[in-house]
Structure 1
Amino acid sequence: MSEPVLSVRGLERVYETGAGPLPVLKGVDLDVYPGEIVGLVGPSGSGKSSLLHAAGLLEHPNAGRIVIEGRDCSTLTDKQRTKVRLGAIGFVYQFHHLLAEFTALDNVALPQMIAGRSRAAAQARAKDLLSELGLAERLTHQPPQLSGGEQQRVAVARALANAPRLLLADEPTGNLDPSTSTSVFDNIYDLARRQGIAALVATHNLELARHMDRVLTLKDGHLEPHTFS
């Protein structure tokens, strides 16, 4: 078997509250492999977002190791963490967080230009990604001119713009109706599979989760295989 894109060992996350320390992650271990789509389920407040934020180098855990493509990121500087996020990790959130004043094309081109790609090359890749997601006729539309499903597809294209090896998605279809949710998830699944991307997807939608390669439940600070009833 190939090496995991994401490897987490002994991850702990504790939040300080007025009532004292609140441990959310209590020694989480996790591997996600190239082309694998792993579902993450659990009740609200169980720590799914905390796990994604730590794995995506957005937050510092209290303990544990995070290895991305064989590189231990646990001791990196903030500048080094930012570089890894920009080049190796794509993020999709429940809300699209698109820049309202930019077109769909420019929303997808922008992270590539930040990474050093020329505007022409960035726009060419953005056009290809958006066309692959069925948005060839919407390239010049701004987010307010797009439907919810279209906005989220633009967000998926943006997440994949810099060809990341790891995709982290936090309730990516949470704001969409069931039919649109299925369509957007299929887009994520197909692109991740074909491009060999390791994907970790937090969701409350167990029907979508059934289609993933593995599903894990985060409960009492630990991961365990999810059993569908």
Structure 2
Amino acid sequence: MSQPVLELRDIDRFYKTAAGELHVLSGTNLQLNAGELVGLVGPSGSGKSTLLHTAGLLERPESGKVLLDGIDCLALDDKGRTAIRRAKIGFVYQFHHLLPEFNAADNIAMPLMIAGVKQKLAREKAAALLAEMGLKDRGHHQPAQMSGGEQQRVAIARALANDPRLVIADEPTGNLDPATTERVFATLIKMVRDEGAAVLVATHNLSLIKHMDRVLTLSDGKLVDYQPD
């Protein structure tokens, strides 16, 4: 069996409150394989975002290991973890966070150029991603000139620009109407399947479950299989 893209091993994460320590993750374990789409559901405050931030190296747990392609990321310094995030992880959020002063193509090309890709190649990759997203003619449009669904597809293209091994999506369709949600999510699925990335998606939208390979939820700080009512 091939090595998992992502492994969380015995993750503990807690926050100090006036009432004492609030344990959000307690001995949490997870494996994600290439090409696998895993959903994470549960009420607000259950720890979904904390889990995503830990997996994406945005938060450091109190204990445990986060491995990406076998690399022990928590053993790295800040610079090393930043390099891993830039090279191996793509993030998609509920709000697109596109840079308003740049057009769609430049928003996608930016992370490529930051990673050292020459401008011409970065722009060619951006154009190809826009075409795959069904936005071939929207490259010169700024975010304010695009619909919510178009903006979110640009955000997905930007997340996939560096061919990440892991895609982390936090409510990626949370502010879209049902028809646009299905279209945007279908596009995300197609692209990550084609690229062989592993995907972890937190969502409140239970209609998206049918697209997932597995669906998990957090119970007492541990990941368990989601059982619909």
Task: Give the shorter-chain TM-score range.
Answer: over 0.9
Equivalent in the alignment of 1:111 = 111
Does structure 2 conserve the Cα–Cα contact (< 8 Å) formed by 1:203 and 1:209? no
Q: How does 1:56-67 map to 2 (within 5 A)?
A: 56-67=56-67
Equivalent in the alignment of 1:127 = 127
- Summarize deviations over 1:120-167 as a string: whole Å, max 9, x none: 100100110111000101000011111000000000000000010100
- Summarize deviations over 1:45-78 as a string: whole Å, max 9, x none: 0111101101101111111100001111111100
Equivalent in the alignment of 1:74 = 74
Counterpart secondary structure, 2:43 = coil
Q: Distance in 2 between matches of 1:190 and 1:32?
A: 17
Q: How does 1:1-229 map to 2 (within 5 A)?
A: 1-229=1-229
Q: Distance in 1 between matches of 2:140 and 2:27?
A: 46
Q: CA deviation at 1:219?
A: 2.0
- Summarize deviations over 1:18-46 as a string: whole Å, max 9, x none: 32211101111000000000000111001
Match of 1:75, as an amino acid? A
Q: Distance in 2 between matches of 1:102 and 1:16?
A: 40
Q: Distance in 2 between matches of 1:81 and 1:164?
A: 14
Does structure 1 conserve the Cα–Cα contact (< 8 Å) formed by 2:35 and 2:193? yes
- Summarize deviations over 1:71-93 as a string: whole Å, max 9, x none: 11111100000000000000000
Q: Distance in 2 between matches of 1:3 and 1:38?
A: 17
Match of 1:52, as an amino acid? L
Q: Distance in 2 between matches of 1:218 and 1:207?
A: 19
Does structure 1 conserve the Cα–Cα contact (< 8 Å) formed by 2:35 and 2:199? yes
Q: CA deviation at 1:226?
A: 1.0
Counterpart secondary structure, 1:159 = helix
Q: Distance in 2 between matches of 1:228 and 1:198?
A: 24
**How many equivalent residue pairs?**
229
**5+ long unaligned stretches in structure 1:** none
**5+ long unaligned stretches in structure 2:** none
Q: Distance in 2 between matches of 1:151 and 1:91?
A: 14
Q: Which deviates more from structure 2 when the two are superposed, residues 113-122 or residues 14-23?
A: 14-23
Task: Supply the RMSD in Å over aligned alpha carbons.
Answer: 0.8
TM-score by length of 1: 0.98
Q: Distance in 1 between matches of 2:107 and 2:17?
A: 37
Does structure 2 conserve the Cα–Cα contact (< 8 Å) formed by 1:100 and 1:143? yes
Q: Distance in 2 between matches of 1:106 and 1:63?
A: 39
Aligned-residue sequence identity (percent) comes to: 59
Q: Distance in 1 between matches of 2:133 and 2:2?
A: 28
Counterpart secondary structure, 1:107 = helix
